[in-house]
């Protein structure tokens, strides 16, 4: 039995999310079905994170165990051939020790949320970014974002369907950058709650539009009450960028 670590890129628009679902296609199922076609084995693909429907991946890390003898390169090439026509690509494949786990060995996860700040509608970026027509103050958003950095009870920013044991999370980084008419919100932490990044971005957008102040954001955080959430951003602009491991 050999354990292989994969780096996966995917367009989340056709999927119900990463995790296998009974009611629609998933990234996990697409890769597992491809692996079965390649090896004849039924495998389970474990990932660093479970993205929602419509969320994209630039460098999701995952692993699977295979009995058949095969090199990492041949496995990567074969998976890419068999996963078609799904918008999924295996960017890298390496052998890892048996105790390496895509989820439990992960030390940090990095997300990026993309906002297009213009009046014109999206064309080729539709489903790949969140368009906001009203001008956004990126500096005010970045300053307010620092309120959320550190260890906090993020109940307000947590989906009611979240299965995490605790609402306590530590945000290592939350930056807002403007590049022309695009704003990038970059978030890093060991782990996130369900919908946490989207909820934080939604509230920061309210700050950027002048509808909320930094104090409003702080009050929402300290309320520890989901009903105090100002706005949950859509999944369109959210990308899982990468996962960090001790061996990297």
Q: Assess whether 145 and 67 both reside in one domain.
A: no
Average of per-residue pLDDT across 151-176 = 89
Q: Assess whether 73 and 125 both reside in one domain.
A: no
CA 236, CA 220: separation in Å to the nearest integer?
A: 24
Average of per-residue pLDDT across 196-215 = 97
Q: Assess whether 68 and 171 both reside in one domain.
A: no
Of 30, 196, 170, whose CA–CA distance to 111 is shortest?
196
The DSSP annotation for 177-221 comes to EEETTEEEEEEEES---TTHHHHHHHHHHHHHTTSS-HHHHHHHH
- 101 part of a folded domain: no
Query: In the chain, what are the helix, strand and coil shares in percent, each to the nearest 5?
Result: 25, 30, 40
Average of per-residue pLDDT across 94-114 = 96
Query: What are residue 156's phi and psi, to 5 degrees?
Result: -60, -30
Q: Does the pLDDT value for residue 22 go beyond 90?
A: no
Q: Assess whether 75 and 125 both reside in one domain.
A: no
Share of the chain above pLDDT 90, in %: 89
pLDDT at 23: 82
Q: Assess whether 67 and 117 both reside in one domain.
A: no
Supply the pTM of this predicted model.
0.93
CA 162, CA 167: separation in Å to the nearest integer?
A: 9
Q: Assess whether 213 and 171 both reside in one domain.
A: yes
**What token pair was written down for 176?**
């807002």
Give the total number of structural domains in the chain: 2
Residue 84: give its domain's CATH number: 3.30.70.580
- 103 part of a folded domain: no
Range of the domain at 164: 108-244
Q: Which residue is catalytic, options 33, 52, 153, 181?
A: 52
Q: Assess whether 154 and 238 both reside in one domain.
A: yes
CB contact set of 227 (below 8 Å; sequence gap of 6+): none
| DSSP β-bridge partners for residue 109 | 189, 243
Q: Assess whether 207 and 115 both reside in one domain.
A: yes
- Does the annotation count 11 as an active-site position? no
Domain boundary among 38, 61, 96: 96
Domain boundary among 45, 70, 96: 96
């Amino acid at each position: 039995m050999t354990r292989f670590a994969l780096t996966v890129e995917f367009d989340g628009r056709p999927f119900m999310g990463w995790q296998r679902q009974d009611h629609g296609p998933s990234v996990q199922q697409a890769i597992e079905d491809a692996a079965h076609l390649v090896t004849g084995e039924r495998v389970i693909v474990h990932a660093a994170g479970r993205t929602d429907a419509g969320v994209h991946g630039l460098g999701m890390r995952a692993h699977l165990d295979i009995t058949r003898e095969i090199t990492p390169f041949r496995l990567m090439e074969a998976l890419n051939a068999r996963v078609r026509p799904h918008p999924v690509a295996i960017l890298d494949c390496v052998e890892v020790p048996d105790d390496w786990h895509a989820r439990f060995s992960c030390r940090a996860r990095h997300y990026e949320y993309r906002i297009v700040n213009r009046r014109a509608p999206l064309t080729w970026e539709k489903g790949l970014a969140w368009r906001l027509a009203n001008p956004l103050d990126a500096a005010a958003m970045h300053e307010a974002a620092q309120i959320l950095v550190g260890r906090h009870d993020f109940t307000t920013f947590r989906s009611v369907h979240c299965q995490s044991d605790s609402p306590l999370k530590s945000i290592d980084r939350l930056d807002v950058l403007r590049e022309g008419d695009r704003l990038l919100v970059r978030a890093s932490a060991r782990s996130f709650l369900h919908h946490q990044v989207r909820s934080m971005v939604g509230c920061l957008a309210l700050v950027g539009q002048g509808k909320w102040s930094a104090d409003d954001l702080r009050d929402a955080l300290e309320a520890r009450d989901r009903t105090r959430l100002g706005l949950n951003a859509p999944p369109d602009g959210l990308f899982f960028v990468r996962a960090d491991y001790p061996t990297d």
